[in-house]
Amino acid sequence: MIELEVASLGLDKASNTPVVILKEVGGERLLPIWIGPGEASAIAMELAGIKFSRPLTHDLLNTVVRSLGSELLRVLITKVVDNTYYASLIFRRNGEVITIDSRPSDSVALAVRAAAPIFADVDLLDRTSVEVQDGTLEPGFAGSDADIPTPAMEDAPPEKLRDYLKRLDPEDFGRFIP
């Protein structure tokens, strides 16, 4: 497993879809995952330190987890199937380790609230990451963690997605503003 951190949130200008950019800790590889606007807002608000008087969904889940005597140990981004990423939440409660299936976007939103590390399978990162060299993206393969139709992604074969990423410039990812 390779540890990742949230590098940024962007907006894919071609599809107008939010993208969470995860960066390899101590490395140069990036893992862009297209996500929904609600999850992007949840991640952005937590990273910006914006708090509300009433808990939002991911805040509520984090409070429930802690109130039940559990802790989020880590998030694992485990695989991509048909351009959809899969993740698992790893909890510990009373010495027992519990694994729960989750969308990566929800997992990241919860991880930033719980200060839990995010990891990706080595093979997954080898196959799907994008490298940054001299300020430009070098293509890998990227997909979404939800069924978000985008012109660049919907039912696209891996070769088309690689070509799409090859043509992207880092500036093509606008800043996501919640």
- Which tens digit of pLDDT belongs to each residue from 83-138? 889 999 999 999 999 999 999 999 999 999 999 999 999 888 888 877 655 444 44
Asked whether the predicted pLDDT for residue 141 surpasses 70, the reply is no
Distance CA 61, CA 139 (A): 35
The pLDDT value given to residue 175 = 54
Complete domains list, the chain, with CATH: 2-175 (3.10.690.10)
Q: What is the pLDDT of residues 97-107, one digit of tens each?
A: 999 999 999 99
The pLDDT of residue 170 is above 60: no
Q: What is the mean pLDDT of the chain?
A: 79
Q: Specify the DSSP class assigned to residue 54.
A: S
Q: How far apart are CA 97 and CA 99, in angstroms?
A: 7
Q: Give the bridge partners for 120, in sequence order.
A: 2, 77
pTM for the predicted model, two decimal places: 0.75
pLDDT of residue 14: 79
Angle between helices 104-114 and 57-67 (to 10 degrees): 60
pLDDT at 134 (0 to 100): 46
23-49 confidence digits (pLDDT tens): 999 988 889 999 999 999 999 989 888
Rounded Cα–Cα distance for residues 98 and 90 (Å): 6
